[in-house]
Amino acid sequence: MSPPQLLLSLLLLMLLDVEPSGATLIRVSLRRVHSGHKTLNLLRRWREPAELSSLEASSPGNKLGLVPLSDFLDVQYFGEIGLGTPPQNFSVVFDTGSSNLWVPSRRCHFFSVPCWFHHRFNPNASSSFQPNGTKFAIEYGSGRLNGILSKDKLTIGGLKGASVVFGEALWEPSLTFTFAPFDGILGLGFPILAVEGVRPPLDVLVEQGLLDKPVFSFYLNRDPDVADGGELVLGGSDPAHYIPPLTFVPVTIPAYWQIHMERVKVGTGLTLCAQGCAAILDTGTSLITGPTEEIRALHAAIGGIPLPPGEHLIECSEIPRLPPVSFLLGGVWFNLTGKDYVVQITWGGVHLCLSGFQPLDMPPPAGPLWILGDVFLGAYVAVFDRGDTNTGARVGLARARPRASGGRGGGPAQAQLSG
């Protein structure tokens, strides 16, 4: 490369690192909660969307916002939003595997036990509430969530004023919700997944000029010695969260965040997904799941000891000697060490180490596939980019920056929008 070309390349790199005008990363205090296990895994019933819709995006502004995340047993994350005027606060899971926003309602059925253990939306306490009244139901593996749709103002990560249609849950038959440390779910999947054709919150934020682009990124902190659980960045990504470069992989089916995975390797002796396979990046799934036979072979390679509920125990002393598990995505290997894929918990004074892999068979046409949940996303920052009319949806991945070297402070940080 000639000196003029080198100088031009350096200038372009400097321009890419310049914070966009008006792009401010809003930081909110985070909390960590240790309670329950795999709530969304128990609830989720994956389905293949019947049809796909075209992706539409606009770029009305140049703003960025951060939402705080809290840790759910080290591998599930949730944070705060507000609904109404003045805002009524709710703790929600930010879930890339669904597309609706719902919270419990003050008008819920008397025998809907989860309502009495969580914050409930009160329409009478909001001056901006607009009734809708359309009934909705969301299917989960352990039952249905029923309610009515309503419209009100959403406050999220410092962004205010977006009028969103959301679900007021009137009947939650699943006891799983009773003990969940979150109130509801905010879906970040594609519009095709939304029940009753409701516009997902991300789309609304873009359409109403509160976000520049339909892009968001997750930094999930799994360090049990650190108080915060990470950050969700709306509108772009924060380079302070990851070690460049980002590797972008195209979304193959714009419903879930589904991509093509070329191969999976365990150490040097075992290859899985040998002919290529589908994979979904899902913040609402705690672990990494895959076809039963392949996960069984993986556990044999890492010395997993089977437990009755489908978990696998790992000897904690063996973590430093465990083989890496590597995923080939977009021509780049993404490696997980034993420390990355072993979930360490303390329960009743007993320290346990559990495998972060679990079998889950998805029948055709949706499967077979792998789900890269929070065990993977804790090691790698993911940038979810819905794209526009010229570029398709894609996911960017880069190794999460260790907290000790991240230099996180309370002030604004550099922001990066996907081009």
Angstrom distance (rounded) from CA 387 to CA 383: 12
What does the DSSP assignment read for 306-367? E-TTS-EE--GGGGGGPPPEEEEETTEEEEE-HHHHEEEEEETTEEEEEESEEE----TTT-
Going 301 to 305 to 306 to 312, the CA torsion angle's sign is: negative
Residue in 74, 203, 238, 282 annotated catalytic: 282
Residue in 95, 203, 228, 238 annotated catalytic: 95
Angstrom distance (rounded) from CA 125 to CA 106: 11
Distances (CA, A) of 361 to 59, 162, 289, 368, 371: 39, 39, 9, 7, 11
Residue 108 CA, distance from chain mean position: 27
Task: Show the 3-state SS of 285-310.
Answer: CCCEEECHHHHHHHHHHHCCEECCCC
Other CB atoms within 10 A of residue 8 CB: 12
Question: H or E stretch including 12?
Answer: helix 3-16
Active site residue 225: no
3-class SS of residue 235: coil
Active site residue 71: no
Closest CA to 208 of 216, 199, 217, 195: 199
Angstrom distance (rounded) from CA 216 to CA 96: 10
Partners of 69 in the β-ladder: none
Annotated catalytic residues are 95, 282
